């Protein structure tokens, strides 16, 4: 990824505490236009907390969120979505007793000027979206109840929702966890498609080989702090990145001098 | 109001048959099962009574009292659907019924014509509902406890202000507004006299149905009740939704209060709402809205309101001694709860 592409979103010195737990202690992360950013870190490192801050779900105790050069306050989930940031949360954020359609349009209902739902338009749109992301092999229809779907199908609904809004930035928090190989492949193809349409992706994953394949740049956090970051070209290969992650896990810090072009 | 049992999970397995479409009715029943069950309960209760005394139950006269008294329960029950589906509980509406009746009565006594007084009362209900909602949501108190306390509190204030008096304004019974709200007319040439407030309650049911099912507001009420965190993460202002359901409840309670005054020939009893607390909640659950939130049915609530209103007079009419009423009441509630399990177990 060229360093020239400008930042779309910046999180600056984010501190987030939950009671006495400091989940984030001053993280600064920049997401650049058109890139796929791989966000890595151990369990409990603070990845989800960071992207929930980005999505407006968590109000940070300190720090600021800058979108396209502008400091945004107040930063709410609605503001984040309006700014073109869509998030597929780790727990998928679905309403299980409701239909696929209702879930896809949650918080973004298609209505007329009186606020009445345009039911058929929503059904058609949901149909189109489900086909677009390739969840068509099953006979389920857009009016199926989400609670009766498989894990992969539910992930498909969450992704369809993120896709609907033509967002600039799509954030995926461990989207492939608990998915089969074929469904994991679908998610990767989806990320590729989003990227080739010029949009930006933030991808959180535990399988570093997977993240390596699709990301242009990596941002690693450890116990609420940035450990290191680097473009793909800074590493000699996936094993180099894994080596550094191991170092980090064992010694509490990684040797960034081994990076080819330090960030 | 969130309960969950092991049984919910078990029956889940049966409801996962969405891949096989047996007939056109299967999807229809799956979507509307709870409302249909409530309708079935109403019909069965009616048949049960009617076979015991066919002449009485086929006589239109019997239904005059029914049509006269059922609207109050309909207004209260259908508005409670919004509250319960959003995941809250409102036990304060009986006090709002009483207070609103007082506002309506005082307005009329002070010379406000009946129709403006009615709208004034609705506004009062909205304000009280707003207050209750704000206390529950921003005070971060369980709505069960908060509204239980507020019910006593509001009733207490009303009683203090009323000093045990009942107020009346019989001259208002000649007004156009009075006739518009609670006037009666004969249906065709039968002895059945339909009170206007029954018609208004039907209008209200249709309004609630559209609001609940086809409006963004109702859609969001359901989503907030189904998964509050998800709704928040998707940008829904959950606080606003949660406050709003209490406003809906407050408006319905105010309408009920103003109607009860007129139904009692323009006499106000401060405690007139008290009798409806358990009746309206029973109607709601008989009507098929589950306790756990996220889903519910307006038409079901409507049928539920009819059922619980039919039971006391129906039981007596069918020849059961008065002390059977509670027994039959309980039996109907339990049987319909079992029926609802078959059509709509909770999915997660
Ligand atoms: N709502 C919350 N309340 C209290 N503590 C929280 C909350 N959310 C996160 N935490 C804590 O913050 C820390 C970071 O959690 P987070 O979910 O961000 O980790 P993560 O990197 O996403 O981990 P994983 O890979 O397991 O998803 C953890 O110690 C966690 O217990
Ligand atoms: Mg996480």
Residue pLDDT, tens place only, A31-50:
999 999 999 999 999 999 99
Residue A139 has a pLDDT of 55
Q: Which of residues 263-282 of B touch A (CB under 8 A)?
A: none
Residue pLDDT, tens place only, A76-109:
999 999 999 999 999 999 999 999 999 999 999 9
d(CA B262, CA B260): 5
* Runs of H (alpha helix) within chain A: 47-54, 77-82, 100-104, 119-132, 151-164, 181-196, 208-214, 238-251
Instruction: Measure A33 CA to ligand 1 centroid, in angstroms.
Output: 27
Please tell me if residue A121 touches chain B, with a CB cutoff of 8 Å.
Answer: no
The verdict on ipTM greater than 0.95 is no
d(CA B60, CA A223): 75
Query: Over 60: is that where the pLDDT of B259 sits?
Result: yes
Query: Over 70: is that where the pLDDT of B315 sits?
Result: yes
Cross-chain Cβ contact B227/A96 below 8 Å: yes
CB B73 within 8 A of CB B283: yes
- Alpha-carbon distance B134 to nearest alpha carbon in chain A (angstroms): 20
Q: What are phi and psi of A143, to 5 degrees?
A: -100, 5
Residue A138 has a pLDDT of 58
Please tell me if residue A204 touches chain B, with a CB cutoff of 8 Å.
Answer: no
Label the pairing between strands A169-173 and A200-204: parallel
Q: How would residue B3 be classed by pLDDT, with cut points 50, 70 and 90?
A: very low
Q: In DSSP terms, which residues pair with A18 in a beta bridge?
A: A21
């Amino acid at each position: 990824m060229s360093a020239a592409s400008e930042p779309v979103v910046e999180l600056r010195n984010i501190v987030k505490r939950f009671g006495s737990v400091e989940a984030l202690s001053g993280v600064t992360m920049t997401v650049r236009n058109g890139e796929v950013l791989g966000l890595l870190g151990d369990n409990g490192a603070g990845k989800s907390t960071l992207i929930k801050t980005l999505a407006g779900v968590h109000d940070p105790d300190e720090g600021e969120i800058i979108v396209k050069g502008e400091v945004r306050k107040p930063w709410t989930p609605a503001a984040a979505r309006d700014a073109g940031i869509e998030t597929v949360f780790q727990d998928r954020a679905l309403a299980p007793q409701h239909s696929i359609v209702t879930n896809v349009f949650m918080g973004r209902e298609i209505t007329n000027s009186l606020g009445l739902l345009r039911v058929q338009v929503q059904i058609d749109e949901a149909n189109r979206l489900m086909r677009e992301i390739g969840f068509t092999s099953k006979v389920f229809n857009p009016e199926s109840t989400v609670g009766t779907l498989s894990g992969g199908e539910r992930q498909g609904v969450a992704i369809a929702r993120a896709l609907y809004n033509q967002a600039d930035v799509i954030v995926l928090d461990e989207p492939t966890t608990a998915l089969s190989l074929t469904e994991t492949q679908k998610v990767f193809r989806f990320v590729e498609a989003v990227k080739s349409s010029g949009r930006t992706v933030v991808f959180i994953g535990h399988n570093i080989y997977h993240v390596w394949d699709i990301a242009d740049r990596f941002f690693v956090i450890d116990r609420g702090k940035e450990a290191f970051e680097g473009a793909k070209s800074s590493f000699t290969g996936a094993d180099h990145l894994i080596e550094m992650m191991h170092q980090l896990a064992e010694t509490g810090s990684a040797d960034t001098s081994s990076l080819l072009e330090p960030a | 109001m969130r309960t969950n049992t092991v049984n919910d999970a078990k029956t889940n397995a049966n409801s996962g048959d969405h891949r096989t479409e047996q007939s056109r009715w299967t999807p229809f029943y799956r979507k509307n099962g709870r409302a249909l069950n409530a309708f079935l309960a109403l019909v069965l209760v009616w048949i049960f009574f009617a076979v015991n005394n066919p002449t009485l139950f086929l006589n239109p006269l019997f239904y005059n009292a029914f049509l006269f008294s059922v609207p109050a329960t309909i207004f209260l029950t259908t508005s409670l659907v919004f509250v319960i589906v959003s995941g809250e509980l409102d036990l304060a509406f009986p006090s709002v019924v009483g207070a609103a009746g007082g506002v309506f009565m005082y307005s009329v006594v002070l010379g406000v014509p009946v129709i403006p007084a009615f709208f004034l009362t609705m506004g009062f209900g909205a304000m009280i509902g707003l207050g209750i909602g704000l206390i529950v949501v921003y005070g971060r108190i369980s709505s069960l406890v908060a509204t239980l306390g507020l019910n006593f509190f509001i009733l207490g204030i009303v009683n203090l202000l009323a000093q045990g008096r009942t107020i009346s304004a019989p001259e208002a019974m000649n007004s156009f507004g009075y006739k518009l709200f609670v006037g009666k007319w004969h249906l065709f040439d039968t002895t059945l006299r339909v009170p206007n407030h029954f018609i208004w309650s039907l209008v209200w049911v249709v309004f609630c149905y559209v609001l609940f099912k086809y409006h963004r507001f109702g859609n969001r009420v359901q989503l907030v009740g189904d998964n509050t965190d998800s709704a928040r993460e998707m940008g829904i202002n959950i606080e606003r939704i949660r406050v709003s359901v209490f406003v809906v409840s407050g408006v319905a309670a105010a309408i009920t209060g103003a109607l009860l005054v007129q139904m009692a020939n323009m006499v106000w009893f401060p405690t007139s709402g008290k009798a409806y607390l358990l009746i309206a909640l029973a109607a709601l659950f008989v009507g098929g809205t589950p306790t756990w939130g996220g889903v519910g049915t307006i038409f079901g609530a409507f049928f539920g309101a009819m059922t619980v209103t039919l039971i006391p007079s129906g039981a007596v009419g069918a020849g059961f001694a008065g002390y059977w009423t509670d027994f039959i009441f309980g039996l109907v509630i339990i049987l319909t709860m079992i029926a609802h399990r078959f059509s709509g177990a909770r999915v997660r």
